[in-house]
């Protein structure tokens, strides 16, 4: 699918995977709408061709307004990417007792329900556009994690939320096929995002050596390049692509 001259919306677009994706899509010729919380957008880098929209992905009405803005410009909305996510750790039974059910619900609300909101809201707007010569209207890319397959100790909420994203991918692609909309998911391994910047260098080095090849952390721009590859590959649909250097997570 041709990216130039279209519009794209990216949640979690203020930093990390989202910011890299926003920049890559804009450099590819799209008018990009970066959606994030107001405080995050205040710190977000500015990039030509990018408009910032404040919205909480767990708030259906807020996100609907942001998607409507993205779809209301002169360029047809063709691409939506879900990058908003949180990853707090907690064991089912820890030193402080049983896993906080409110924390579990929050993680699922942001990572899974937030992804569903963008998926549905963007699909509605994309489906209303004119198709290209091959009947294509757009592409939606979700973000899961290798934790969806190999969740570690303390990741029960995170793994459940990301496993849900993987589980949505194929039925969503089948649901939206009649509208000419493809759906794929990327499951990253360990990516060098601002969240990882809070970890000391020695531990980061140990994480990197656990990756078979290349033995390093992934870069956000590699995620963004994979988004571009999915957009440009018209036969990729209903698939979850691991981006992990052949890493398979150990229990701890």
CA dist., res. 137 & res. 74, Å (int): 16
* Least confident residue range of 47-51, 161-165, 201-205, 213-217: 201-205
The verdict on whether 158 is a catalytic residue reads yes
Q: How confident is the model at residue 80 (pLDDT cuts 50, 70, 90)?
A: very high
Task: For residues 230-239, give the mean pLDDT.
Answer: 98
- The pLDDT > 70 percentage for the chain reads 97
Cα torsion angle, 145, 232, 180, 14, sign:
positive
67 band by pLDDT with thresholds 50, 70 and 90: very high
Q: What does the DSSP 8-state code read for residue 49?
A: T
**What does the alpha-carbon distance between residue 191 and residue 150 come to, in Å, rounded to a whole number?**
16
Q: Provide the CB-side half-sphere exposure for 121 (13 A, CA).
A: 28
Domains of the chain: 7-243 (3.40.50.720)
- What phi and psi values does residue 213 have, to the nearest 5 degrees? -170, 135
Q: What is the pLDDT of residue 198?
A: 60
* Cβ burial, residue 244 (10 Å; 0-12/13-18/19+): buried
Least confident of 131-145, 194-208, 222-236: 194-208
pLDDT at 209: 84
Arithmetic mean of pLDDT, 147-172: 97
Catalytic residue among 33, 158, 223, 235: 158
Q: What residues does 8 pair with on adjacent strands?
A: 32, 79
* pLDDT reported for residue 206: 77
Contact 19, 220 (CB under 8 A): yes
pTM of the model: 0.95
Burial class of residue 83 in the structure, from the number of CB atoms within 10 Å of its CB (0-12 exposed, 13-18 middle, 19+ buried): buried
pLDDT at site 250: 87
Reported confidence tier of residue 69, pLDDT bands at 50, 70, 90: very high
pLDDT digits (tens, 9 = 90+) for 170-209: 999 999 999 999 999 999 999 988 766 666 677 677 778 8
For the chain, give the mean pLDDT.
95
Q: What is the pLDDT of residue 200?
A: 64
pLDDT of residue 10: 98
């Amino acid at each position: 699918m041709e990216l130039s001259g279209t519009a794209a919306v990216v949640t979690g677009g203020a930093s990390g995977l989202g910011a890299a994706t926003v920049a890559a899509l804009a450099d590819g010729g799209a008018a990009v709408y970066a959606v994030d919380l107001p405080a995050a957008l205040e710190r977000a880098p500015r990039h030509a061709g990018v408009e910032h929209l404040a919205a909480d992905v767990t708030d259906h009405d807020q996100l609907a307004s942001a998607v409507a803005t993205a779809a209301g410009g002169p360029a047809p909305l063709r691409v939506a990417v879900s990058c908003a996510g949180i990853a707090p750790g907690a064991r089912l039974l820890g030193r402080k007792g049983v896993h906080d059910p409110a924390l579990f619900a929050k993680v699922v609300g942001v990572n899974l329900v937030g992804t569903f909101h963008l998926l549905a809201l963007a699909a509605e707007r994309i489906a209303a556009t004119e198709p290209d010569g091959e009947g294509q209207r757009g592409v939606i890319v979700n973000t899961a994690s290798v934790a969806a397959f190999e969740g570690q100790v303390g990741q029960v909420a995170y793994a459940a939320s990301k496993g849900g994203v993987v589980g949505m991918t194929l039925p969503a692609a089948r649901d939206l096929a009649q509208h000419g909309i493809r759906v794929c998911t990327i499951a990253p391994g360990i990516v060098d995002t601002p969240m990882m910047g809070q970890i000391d260098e020695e531990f980061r080095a140990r994480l990197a050596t656990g990756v078979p090849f290349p033995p390093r952390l992934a870069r956000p721009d590699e995620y963004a390049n994979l988004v571009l590859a999915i957009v440009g590959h018209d036969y990729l649909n209903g698939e979850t692509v691991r981006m992990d250097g052949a890493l398979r997570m150990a229990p701890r």
